Amino acid sequence: MLLTGNHAAAFGARLCRPRVIAAYPITPQSPIYEKLSEWDGKGVLGGRMMRVESEHSAMAACITASLTGVRTFTATASQGLALMHELLHYASGMRVPVVMVNVNRALAAPWSFWSDQTDSLSQRDTGWLQFYVADNQEALDTVIQAFRVAETIFLPAMVVLEAFYISHFMEPVDVPAQEAVDGFLPPFRPAFRLDPSDPAAFCQTTTQEQYAQFRILRHKAMEEGLEVVSEVDKEYQKHFGRGYGLVETYHLDDADIVLVTAGTIGHTARITIDELREVGWKVGMLRIRLFRPFPKEEIIRRLKKAKKIAVVDRNISSGQGGIFCEEVKSALCGHVDGAQVFGFVLGLGGTNVSPSLLRKVFEITKTMKMAPLRPILDIESVEIGK
Amino acid sequence: MGNREKDNLYPGHMACPGCGEVIALKLVLQAVGDKAIAVVLPSCLGIILGPFPRTTFKIPVFHAAFETGASSASGIANALLARGDEETVVVTLAGDGGTTDIGFQSLSGAADRDENIIYCCFDNEAYMNTGIQSSSSTPQYAWTMTTPVGRTQKKKNMVEIMGAHGVPYAASACSCFPDDLRAKIRKAKKLKGTKYIHILSPCPTGWRFPERLTPNIGRLAVETNYFPLYEIRNGREYSITHQPKKIPVKEYLLAQGRFKHLKLEELEIIQREVDARWDELTTKADNR
């Protein structure tokens, strides 16, 4: 089927048979909400559609619907995700396996509608799994995988796709049969729920020690998630013939210079790598698919042999730099001696990261002796060889 | 109080002595019954609920985020319908700050969707749990820690606001009129859609009166017409559920430390306001 990334994600959600969906419109997520509403109108959605008055209420309703024992889904972007922030902590604290699609969009101010990963990366510490996908098929497949993972370790999961580059771009997508998805994803049956025949109090006040224990349990569940994500991905491959791993690699094995990124820039990088390989450059790519839990071991293993690493971030933590870059550096620290990690912040606000721009990334990384402490922001002004 | 009702609250809780809110809570939970799920917000109710792992509640309860009283209840109501459960009652137990201020948007949204919930606002007329700060439900001239010379604005009239949403049922009640309160909850239980009950709950700690006077203060609030007991069906049909004795309002106000600073002219302004509001209310109730 020829589908936009948004519609691919909506199909993924519908195939998982969520019984409560709560949503609120926001560009560029709205086509997901509209598609689900269209199915609801035709009576084929199979769950209840809540048209709530804010993203904050959407997340509140997803949390309690999940606590009442049903599978829940929502989708948002940018300002909507930021508005949910408080409840993202709440969802993971309550250990509800809500699945949410976030369409990466630049955060105001100033207003912008284009792709920028800072919205979801700002939610790094909320206790949600985060998957960054690179195309429409991966968006659909990852939504289905996310439900399975989330309901295994009882943590919420966010599937992140970039505004317009994925959300509004049409690609051929294989939509699995309902029976096939039913065979992969069992019905959601939590051990505990809000149930008058078995009353219990949920989310009471705790002592310092109790709170610390709950946080440690959540962290351990997240760490367990690394293995679960791998297993679920392998099983998905068996069922549907497609798997993605924790990271995607391209010509990595013999690469001296490795470009590390997340999302659609990973696909663009393949073109640049093909061109550079033709003229004899040993270059490769590592695309980080799973951001939380962060696949440290996998990243160390894959980058151990690289002489130089160039991390390209479509996001920025002001005062520090690209967020993936800092995470990669922290993973390598103490495990890969003298790793030269070059940080590039490109594509903010949806500006285009073209194959020729990535070629310059490789050129700068190759010729610059030492990685600068601070991110390279204005790539056009860097003179090669300096 | 009539015959003994089955309690859904265990004895022993952490409310202040003389708390009007815990009396109201006990009455609400009696009338709601045990086939119910409650949403409690951060408020004095969160204290009454008790710390982990014990609880005073006999029915399942979720302690939700402050501004999500109605949205959290909406999620439960929809999940119950998705499960084919049309019997279990969903009840939000909120304070006045959580209702009139920070949670107002989600309440208005739920009322617009006509979610099948009973929303109870336990109104002690300030943020009492955090130490007596003014809310938009704090009456004009009342002292609080954040209105040390008296609040300038008038109290937000939530029953009228919810009635204007056209909900099937909006009513005022008071912890000191137990039969009236329970009857309203029972009425709400029988109706589908969003039901709103605004319950005045005298607070000796924040209103500054001796804790033994809680029942008297609540009764004075109603009998002076300061807080009339009435209900609105479908946004239009008004009924007064208790005919007040029309005691002068100063007897209610001057019994409380938070109004001790009131001047004669201010007492007169309040009396005129109370009389005017009563006239409006009786006109609406008579004309239906």
The whole domain housing A179 covers 2-240
Question: What pLDDT digit, counting tens, does each position of A22-66 carry?
Answer: 999 999 999 999 999 999 999 999 999 999 999 999 999 999 999
The H or E element that residue A218 is part of is helix A208-240
Task: Determine the residue of chain A that is closest to B53 in CA distance.
Answer: A204
- Give percent above pLDDT 70 in chain B: 98
Kindly state the DSSP code that residue A2 receives in the 8-state scheme.
Answer: E
Cβ neighbours around B153 below 10 Å, total: 11
Quote the number of domains for chain A: 2
Q: What is the pTM of this model?
A: 0.97
A172-186 tens-digit pLDDT = 999 999 999 999 999
pLDDT at B2 > cutoff 60:
no
Beta bridge partners of A311: A260, A343
Query: Consecutive 10-residue runs of chain A (386 residues): their mean pLDDT?
Result: 98 98 98 98 96 98 98 98 98 98 98 97 98 98 98 98 97 98 97 97 97 98 98 98 98 97 97 98 98 98 96 98 98 92 97 97 96 92 75
Q: How far is A110 from chain B (nearest CA, A)?
A: 26
A182 and A37 share one domain: yes
Report all structural domains of chain B as residue ranges with CATH numbers, in order of start.
Answer: 20-286 (3.40.50.970)
**pLDDT tens profile A135-180:** 999 999 999 999 999 999 999 999 999 999 999 999 999 999 999 9
Whichever domain contains A354, its CATH number is 3.40.50.920
Instruction: Quote the minimal CA–CA distance from B243 to chain A in Å.
Output: 38
Same domain, A299 and A202: no
Distance from CA of B43 to the nearest CA of A (A): 12
A205 touches chain B (CB under 8 A): yes
**A107 touching B (Cβ < 8 Å):** no
Question: Is A356 part of the contact surface with chain B (CB cutoff 8 Å)?
Answer: no
Q: Is the pLDDT of residue B66 over 90?
A: yes
Which two structure tokens, joined as six digits, stand for B251?
């007897």
> CB–CB of B68 and A87 under 8 A?
yes
Task: Tell me whether residues B76 and A67 touch, CB distance under 8 A.
Answer: yes
**Residue B34: φ, ψ to 5°:** -95, 0
The enclosing H or E element of A261 equals: strand A257-261
Domain limit, last residue, from A240, A262, A294:
A240
Examine residue A318 and state whether it is found in any structural domain, yes or no: yes
Which of A240, A266, A284 is the endpoint of a domain?
A240
Same domain, A136 and A256: no
Residue pairs between chains A and B whose CB atoms are closer than 8 Å: 145
Give the whole-angstrom CA distance, residue B276 versus residue B226. 11
Mutate to test the interface with B, among A57, A189, A211 (most CBs of B within 10 A): A57
Contacts of B64 in chain A (CB under 8 A): 60, 64, 203
Q: Do B113 and A68 touch (CB under 8 A)?
A: no
Calculate the dihedral angle through the C-alpha atoms of B20, B26, B29, B33, rounding to the nearest 10 degrees: -150
DSSP assignment of A326-349, as one string? HHHHHHHTTTSTT-EEEEEE--GG
Does some domain include residue A312?
A: yes
- SS3 of residue A282 by DSSP: coil
DSSP state string for B209-223: --GGGHHHHHHHHHH
Range B85-90 average pLDDT? 97
Q: Assess contact for A83 and A110: CB atoms under 8 A.
A: no
For residue A113, what is the domain's CATH number?
Answer: 3.40.50.970
CA atoms of A32 and A9, how far apart (whole Å): 7
List the end-to-end C-alpha distance of chain B, in Å, as a whole number: 31
Same domain, residue pair A25 and A131: yes
Cα dihedral B190/B191/B196/B197 (nearest 10): -30
**Is the CB of B79 less than 8 angstroms away from the CB of A20?**
yes
Question: What is the pLDDT at residue A385?
Answer: 65
Q: Do the Cβ atoms of A61 and B65 come within 8 Å?
A: no
